[in-house]
Structure 1
Amino acid sequence: MPETAHLTSAARIREAALHQQRTPPRRAAPPPRKRGQGPLLRGLLKTARPKQWIKNILVIAAPAAAGRLFSTHAAVQLALVFTLFTACAAAVYLINDARDADADRAHPTKRHRPVAAGQVPVPVACAVGGVLGLLAPAAAAWLTSPLVAALLTAYLGMQLAYCVSLKHVLVIDLAVVTTGFLMRAAVGGLALGIPLSRWFLITTGFGALFMVSAKRYSEAVQMEGRAGATRALLTEYTAGYLRFVWQLAAGVAVVGYCLWAVEEGGVPHTGLLPWRQLSMVAFILGILRYAVFADRGIAGEPEEVVLRDRALAVIGVVWLAMYGMAVANC
């Protein structure tokens, strides 16, 4: 018996040794890494949506329409207004993402946003957004004019109301987004004290409504049957209604631009050709070309549509050249 027990113990030892050789040693878990400032700052920047900043170039629209771009004072003021409007927009994005963090975590795409993914803590996003929202209008009142500060304050209030409730109200959601574009176009004129033409405001407002409703229509077409998965209000709109809106807006924008181009005042014509009036052709072609993508249901972000389609980009350059010739009285 003792000998048998000894053999059994030896067999167990050999089996344990073989098992240890087959099983690789378990590595110790690395210590948790502390959240550094680098990832946090990158997350804040990403939440501020740098791709959307191109929309703020609209601040030069009114000065360009009046031929008031070519001075140091105008360049400094417009650069300042662009920066302040970008800060306001970033504040809205930060607060919106902080508010929607829980819902975004359940979304297949939005869950990668820095706030939803945990890269930027919700309190930090709220704090940075609040600071930007307070500083931008205050800086505008100090460095530009009270009218610019009032417009930025109104923009912040309107956009925050949109994030909380207005984005769930039919038609009002389209009006709010359109008004945001119109405010961008008007703020440059307010900063330089330029009177804003009624036809300029009509063209800008309905041009923005055209692009906004075309984007909504495209979303409705692409997400038909599952629209609530991306934007809950799309379940309330019909594709036919959104098509009606972008077609109506395109027509009013064209009429407004034509009336603005031929009205008395603004940029006087003393050049060889009536470039301002001729620019109507390029403008209408641009609307028609953009409508192709809207009709197909593939009109996404306006800047992406323009940059993706070479013909539309060329039409835009031609329009800019024509209007530049009108401003220079060539």
Structure 2
Amino acid sequence: MTDTAVLRQRAPEQRPESAPPGRKGLPAGLLRTARPRQWVKNVLVVAAPAAAGELFAPNVLTRLALVFVLFTACAAAVYLVNDARDAEADRAHPVKRHRPVAAGQVPVPVAYAVGGALGVLAPLVAAWLCPPVVAALLTAYLAMQLAYCISLKHVLVVDLAVVTTGFLMRAMIGGLALGIPLSRWFLITTGFGALFMVSAKRYSEAVQMAGKAGATRALLTEYTTGYLRFVWQLAAGVAVLGYCLWAMEEGGVPHTSVLPWRQLSMVAFILAVLRYAVFADRGTAGEPEDVVLRDRALALIGVVWVAMYALAVANW
């Protein structure tokens, strides 16, 4: 009798503990799986129009907003499929086990279904409302990222190239949507800048997971921290070199600006790279969006660089 009474008293206390902490429902889980904090990466769609000085031309912002939404939908589709595939492995990770799919908040079949729907609808809408090249690029992005989820993320060096290409596609799609030619300096600086951030992220993950079991990126055990450090340092150097060559190239533009903003913007760009490299060197650049959004000094340098770059493009 006493044991039965004790069990009855404990039963109401145990039921709430069986539910995952912080459970907020399926819609909230799907939104979290779509990584809203990572949507800042898709702002790169404005890079090419901004670099060409076409950002505030008529109807440009409307078209870029559409491209941003479509690319965000494609990225969300990839995140949903990726988390569905990696649910078991994520449960062994100290942080990723809290992701909605791994935690059981979003069932795996639902993640696959929503991801598949977004992956089909986004290119179709692009084919209807945008130039054909935009739909083609979105389709290529989806194919490449899904191949990455399935197998390419297990191939040395190729995994870095695929993620870097994803960033480069974000930067290219805005120009392609508006028919803006993409300069070689834009592609070099953007591509190697992306490789810098991607390899710094991998380096930080490798440092943080060193000696720990349950790493979700199996390839981290095959990369050495020395190699990843070499890659992000090389990429940072090439990105800076490419930007400086753009800044020093006159290109036949007459000197009508008050100050040499093109050349002065090199200082802010280099400072931004050096500031980000501090976090990379510490092994704390595992979440690039956190570094960019939370570090006030880096944010201030970024604002100064944007202002100088805008003045240079406008030739003010």
Indicate whether the TM-score tops 0.5: yes
Q: Distance in 1 between matches of 2:139 and 2:49?
A: 22
Match of 1:208 in 2: 194
| Residues 1:291 and 2:291 aligned together | no
Deviation at 1:292, TM superposition (A): 1.8
Match of 1:118 among 79, 83, 104: 104
The total of aligned residue pairs comes to 309
Q: Spell out the pairing of 1:55-94 with structure 2 (5 A cutoff).
A: 55-94=41-80
Match of 1:102 in 2: 88
Q: Distance in 2 between matches of 1:95 and 1:267?
A: 48
Q: Distance in 2 between matches of 1:157 and 1:93?
A: 13
Match of 2:133 among 147, 154, 169: 147
Deviation at 1:110, TM superposition (A): 2.2
Deviation at 1:77, TM superposition (A): 0.7
Please identify, of 319-328 and 233-242, the stretch whose mean Cα deviation from structure 2 is larger: 319-328
Name the structure, 1 or 2, with higher relative contact order (CA <8 Å, separation 6+).
2
Deviation at 1:265, TM superposition (A): 4.5
Structure 2, unaligned runs of 5 or more: none
Q: Distance in 2 between matches of 1:83 and 1:268?
A: 38
| Residues 1:41 and 2:23 aligned together | no
| Residues 1:276 and 2:262 aligned together | yes
Deviation at 1:302, TM superposition (A): 1.9
Please identify, of 206-215 and 226-235, the stretch whose mean Cα deviation from structure 2 is larger: 226-235
Deviation at 1:101, TM superposition (A): 1.9
Q: Match for 1:239: what amino acid?
A: T
Match of 2:219 in 1: 233
Instruction: Provide the alpha-carbon RMSD of the alignment.
Output: 2.6
Contact 2:37–2:289 under 8 Å retained in 1: no
Q: Distance in 1 between matches of 2:277 and 2:98?
A: 32
Q: Give 4+ residue runs of structure 1 displaced > 4 Å after superposition.
A: 22-25, 27-30, 264-269
Match of 1:261 in 2: 247
Match of 1:322 in 2: 308
Q: Distance in 2 between matches of 1:262 and 1:227?
A: 49
Match of 1:160 among 146, 168, 185: 146
Structure 1, unaligned runs of 5 or more: 1-15
Q: Distance in 1 between matches of 2:175 and 2:311?
A: 21
Q: Distance in 2 between matches of 1:82 and 1:45?
A: 17
Q: Match for 2:128: what amino acid?
A: W
Match of 1:300 among 286, 289, 299: 286
> Structure 1 pair 64/227, CA: closer, same or farther in 2 (3 Å)?
farther
Q: Secondary structure at the match of 2:59?
A: helix
Q: Match for 2:49: what amino acid?
A: P
Q: TM-score, normalised by structure 1?
A: 0.86
Cα deviation per residue 1:29-59 (whole Å; 9 max; x = unaligned)? 79x99xxxx7111111111011100000000
Deviation at 1:264, TM superposition (A): 4.5
Q: Which has the larger radius of gyration?
A: 1
Match of 2:205 in 1: 219
Q: Spell out the pairing of 1:160-199 with structure 2 (5 A cutoff).
A: 160-199=146-185
Q: Distance in 2 between matches of 1:60 and 1:66?
A: 10
